[in-house]
Structure 1
Amino acid sequence: MLIKNGLVVTMDPDRNVIRNGAVAIENESIVDVGKTERLEKEYYHLDAIDATNKMILPGFVNTHNHIYQTIMRGLSDDGESRHSSQYRWDIPLLRGLTKEACYASGMLSSIEMIRSGITTTQDSHYINFHGDAIDGIAESAKESGLRLVLGRGSWDLQGLAPEELTEDVPSAISESKKVANRWHDGDMINVILEASLLSQVTDELIVETKETARELGLGWGIHIQGPLGSHKDDPRSKNDSLRQYGGRAIEYLNSLKVLGPNSLLVHCTFTTNREIPILAQTNTPVAHCPCANAWAGRSVVTPIPSMLSRGVNVGLGTDGALTNDSLDMIHAMNFCALIHKVNYGDITVMTAEDVLEISTIKAVKALGIDHLVGSIEPSKKADLVIIDNKSIGMTPALLPIKNLIYSASSNCIDTVIINGKIALKERKFSLLDPLETVKTAEKQAQKILEKSGYLEDERFLLRGKFNYL
């Protein structure tokens, strides 16, 4: 296909923006980018998409997500503390996450993400009550056409989570290898291994999962949500060996020699100024989820502008429904731009261009797939989003990149192309049936609630200050 007459924001190394530009696509790859006048002559044989009054961008990249959570959207209560809500109410729900439920959650997630311009998503899956549940996530990605970076997470310490979710290290490594063998293809599905949450894993699991990832040529990741030992139920809070680091998680991980360009650190909310140079020196990327951090009531904002100024690579993510409820990337980009201006008291930090970078080319670099996607260049896979510059929120399109970040909504998304296939055209899905997807998700959500026993507990479903009559 030939997409022509648009404003092409390439996100190439020179950050070229081509007025009246065109993108030629053959099979799943971009073969040429340039002015419409030239490409029309050379690629006259390709089916054309007219992008007049539209902006052509690389597809957006969701650098961190928990896809299984979408089917439980809204059930994590904002009237309770983060830990009491997630681990008291939700564990009975999580036990109902079968392969079928995760597939339904994945399809529902895909609808929402594609509708907001996401073409690649990461997923951290560490709820392994059912060993094949992660297969439901992978199968939903294959069905929907989304590009997926699939994280198989493990934890081996009891504390904030029940014993049923913990694995000994040999079992965790064995199961992680099985997932990699089943699903990693180096293209549409890339598997990474994860030591899920720093407060829930031993040093042995951290080191062994990282070493296994190195051996298999895979990425690795870990959540860092607060200072080491900061929560009273954190089993690592009693570990004397952590005290020398004063709660500084990045320093601690650096001492274990697990940092580097293939190690994705999620959140890093309480990163100190002395730790940012470590991230820069080791080329360790960070997944930033500002909406989730705000929802969870974090007392500080991750110092992303300071990280970027020191050369740390950052990717933007939505996180999952337990701490966000929304997978809308346009919303995440808008909030990211605004929250850092408040935090720094400086309107010049986190510009629209900065946010677009961490949602595209820097995001795929963080995930280790920048050789595949993230920019509009010949030989890259054709993952593109076309923005309607005449839509409400984008008009007048005098500075369309700024409009995209500060005033647009997902209604501005006109067309989404993933791996050379049209997933959304003129705001209508080409490959998916949204109504059927919603029906299936509702049925699976009902099954999860029935198994949990919460349907009989009005305190759970109707909790809050409003009186339901």
Structure 2
Amino acid sequence: MEKIDHLVHAKWIITCEDQNRVLENHALAIHQGKILSILPSSQAKDAYQADKNESFTSHAILPGFINSHTHLAMNVFRGLADDLELMDWLNNYIWPAEGKWVSQELVYDGSLLAMAEMIRCGTTCFNDMYFFLGATAQAAEKAGLRAHIGMTIIDVPTAWAKTTEEYFAKAVEFYQEYKNHARITPTLAPHSTYTVSMENLEKVKKLADDYRLKINIHLQEAPSEMTQSLAKHNKRPLHRLHEIGMVSPDLIAIHMTQVNDADLEILQQTRPHIVHCPESNMKLVSGSCPVERLTRLGINVALGTDGAASNNDLDMLGEMRTAAFLGKVTADDPKAVPAESALKMATLHGAKALGTDTITGSLEIGKAADFIAIDLDAIETQPVYHPVSQIVYSTPRSQVTDVWVGGKQLLKNRELTLLDEKELLEKAQLWRKKIKM
């Protein structure tokens, strides 16, 4: 018998690999933070002697969710300004609140609160865009999550940086500090084409090329953005980025709700990754990403929640359900964005967008042991005919019971293992009292 760290048996193992196998009564063999084998439970008992042996007899085991677009620290602004159009929400509520309150302390506390929420709903990896990058990184180290932290570039002074040059300098500084971190990956994050000049976007492109970095950008998110770009430049935002060579497989284009045939031609030629944020887009009436059309063209579409200030949660299970339903309405086809596709958008497709699909995003031999357990033995999810459909269409986040990243358990029987829930709630109340004043 081979000695290993951990053997996890489950009613179902959903791999989310390209073949997306659903295996019944199988086990994950885990050693030194990686998946060593996936095999029938009956064989695993004879093949391995594990330090820890667990059975999840009514659970599905699947890869942890990858939230491909977040503004974590904005959790402290959840519910501050609701039922507004995007530019009204940004200009008259969110940006003034950020200008007054954003700090190292707020970003750390808000990010940690958000990470606790994400862990409780099965997220193991996120892609963030905000300020005070070190605070988010420190929170991720404490929480145990896998993090892609966007180095924000914006031509607007904030508490984080007063000039665009300072944003660039702080980006390089953050990159140098975290470039070799095991779980934290720096990316470049120009906010948008309407808040960053073309000159500075070209600097972003050069920096990304020099350091081989992914670029995240809010792109063609709402009708107002399109109107502004056409009035000022007589070009669509995507076309402007294409002219400077930024649209490539290293680009992560967030939202893309405003897409026409000319855009589709560019996207098909250049193959950037798209992050769909359906609930935020619906709430702000920004439009709908044409997921089915993009998928048919072979373009990778991942899934994100956006920030809790515009969603108003970080629940990837809910986001999958919404993405599937909205995708069907947008395509006028009940077969569009089926449950299996929605699940892959939240797992493997997110890893592909972030360039980490050799590490995470699916349950495969040699990949990191980033996985979750969802208990399907509940009134809300019985009877089970097809576990993938049941997870996407019926399962509330309260049925996520256990979460691991790199083999380390972050949630055990619905209890956080590394974070103090009472302390997080106290911090949230303190910020509410400050901001409400």
TM-score when normalising by structure 1:
0.87
* Distance in 2, Cα, partners of 1:339 & 1:45: 44
What is the aligned partner in structure 2 of residue 388 from structure 1? 375
Structure 1, residues 145-187: CA drift from partner, whole Å, max 9, x if none? 111110011112x6xxx68787655333222111112233353
CA deviation profile, 1:272-323 (whole Å, cap 9, x unmatched): 123223223222101110000001012x311011001110001100000232
Larger strand fraction of residues: 2
Q: Secondary structure at the match of 1:54?
A: strand
Return the alpha-carbon distance in structure 2 between the equivalents of residues 138 and 249 of structure 1. 30
SS at match of 1:47: strand
For 2:106, the equivalent position in structure 1 comes to: 101
Residue 32 (1) aligns with residue 28 (2): no
Q: What is the rounded CA distance, in whole Å, between the counterparts of 1:32 and 1:396 in structure 2?
A: 29
Separation in structure 2 between the aligned mates of residue 208 and residue 227 of structure 1, nearest angstrom: 27
Contact persistence 1:61–1:119 (CA under 8 A) = yes
| Alignment match of 1:8 (pick from 1, 7, 13) | 13
Structure 2 residue aligned with 1:286, among 259, 262, 274?
274
On the 8 A contact 2:58/2:376 being kept in 1, the answer is yes
8 Å Cα contact 1:60-1:117 kept in structure 2: yes
Residues 29-85 of structure 1: CA deviation (Å, up to 9, x unaligned):
11111211222222223311102121110101100000111011100231x433223
Amino acid at match of 1:297: V
Equivalent in the alignment of 2:60:
55
Q: 1:179 aligns with which of 162, 170, 174?
A: 174
Partner Cα distance (1:60, 1:5) in 2: 18
Q: Is the contact made by 1:394 and 1:412 (CA closer than 8 Å) also made in structure 2?
A: no
- Paired amino acid for 2:338: T
Change in Cα spacing, 1:252 to 1:436, as seen in structure 2 (3 Å) is same
Amino acid at match of 1:321: A
Contact 1:150 1:189 in 2 (8 A): yes
The answer to whether the Cα contact below 8 Å between 1:393 and 1:403 also exists between their aligned partners in 2 is no
Give the letter aligned to residue 38 of structure 1.
Q
Match 2:253 to one of 257, 265, 271: 265
Match of residue 212, structure 2, among 211, 217, 238: 217
Q: 1:265 deviation in Å? A: 0.5
For the aligned residue pairs, the C-alpha RMSD in angstroms reads 1.9
* Aligned match for 1:335, one of 285, 298, 322: 322
Matches within 5 A, 1:448-467: 449=435, 455=437
Instruction: Specify the SS of the correspondent of 1:193.
Output: strand
CA separation of 1:166 and 1:223: change in aligned 2, threshold 3 A: farther
CA contact (8 A) 2:82 2:310 kept: no
Higher mean alpha-carbon deviation, 18-27 vs 359-368, is at 18-27
| Cα displacement string for residues 386-410 of structure 1 (whole angstroms, at most 9, x for unaligned residues) | 1112123221111111011111100
Unaligned runs of 5+ in 2: 1-5
In 1, Cα distance between equivalents of 2:268 and 2:432: 43
The alpha-carbon distance between structure 1 residues 143 and 229, as it changes in their structure 2 partners (threshold 3 A), is closer
- Counterpart for residue 22 of structure 2: 17
Is 1:69 matched with 2:74? yes
CA contact (8 A) 1:58 1:385 kept: yes
Point out the more displaced range, 11-20 or 364-373: 11-20
**88-97 or 57-66: which moved more?**
88-97
How far 1:364 sits from its partner (Å)?
Answer: 0.7
Structural mapping, 1:391-402, within 5 Å: 391-402=378-389
C-alpha separation between the residues in 2 aligned to 1:317 and 1:46? 36
Deviation larger for 90-99 or 367-376: 90-99
Which amino acid letter does the alignment assign opposite residue 258 of structure 1?
M
One-letter code aligned to 2:185: N
Alignment match, 1:371: 358
For 1:199, what is the secondary structure of its paired residue?
coil
Which among 128, 138, 144 is matched to residue 123 of structure 1? 128
Which residue of 2 is the match for residue 204 of structure 1? 199
Percent same amino acid at aligned positions? 27
User: The residue matched to 1:124 in structure 2 has which SS?
Assistant: strand
**Match of residue 439 from structure 1:** 426
The amino acid of 2:13's aligned partner reads: V
Alignment of 1:310-349 (within 5 A): 310-349=297-336
Question: Retained in 1: the 8 A contact 2:26–2:41?
Answer: yes
Q: 1:296 aligns with which of 284, 296, 304?
A: 284
TM-score, length-normalised on structure 2?
Answer: 0.93
**Deviation for aligned residue 1:351:** 0.3
- Tell me, yes or no, if structure 1 residue 114 matches structure 2 residue 102: no
Whether the aligned pair in 2 keeps the contact of 1:101 and 1:445 (CA below 8 Å) is: no
How far apart are residue 14 of structure 1 and its match? 2.3
Question: Which segment drifts farther, 271-280 or 210-219?
Answer: 271-280
Aligned to 1:461: none
Q: Is the 8 A contact 1:61 1:360 kept in 2?
A: yes
Alpha carbons 1:6, 1:20 under 8 Å: kept:
yes
Distance across 1 between alignment mates of 2:184 and 2:381: 33
State the distance in 1 between where 2:354 and 2:203 align: 20
Q: Say if 1:416 and 1:104 are closer, same or farther in 2 by CA, change over 3 A.
A: same
Offset, 1:238: 5.5
Pairwise CA distance, 1:111? 1.3
Alpha carbons of structure 1 residues 42 and 392: separation in structure 2 relative to 1, 3 Å: same
Residue equivalent to 1:354:
341
Q: Look up the SS of the partner of 2:356 in the other structure.
A: coil
Q: Shift of the alpha carbon at 1:253?
A: 1.4
Letter in 1 for 2:88: S
* Structure 1 counterpart of 2:87, one-letter code: H
Rounded to whole Å, the distance in 2 between the matches of 1:238 and 1:180 is 36
Deviates most, 69-78 or 310-319: 69-78
Q: Displacement of 1:11 after TM fit?
A: 1.8
Instruction: Give the alignment of 1:421-432 within 5 angstroms.
Output: 421-432=408-419
Deviating more after overlay: 12-21 vs 200-209: 12-21
Shift of 1:5: 3.6
Letter in 2 for 1:49: E
Q: Distance in 2 between matches of 1:366 and 1:183?
A: 20
Cross-structure match for 2:3: none
**In 2, Cα distance between equivalents of 1:37 and 1:312:** 40
* Residue 86 of structure 2: aligned partner: 82
Asked if the contact 2:10–2:60 (Cα under 8 Å) also holds between the matched residues in 1, the reply is: no
Q: Counterpart in 2 of 1:141?
A: 140
State the match for 2:391 in structure 1. 404
- Cα distance per residue 1:205-224 (max 9 Å; x no partner): 11211221221122111111
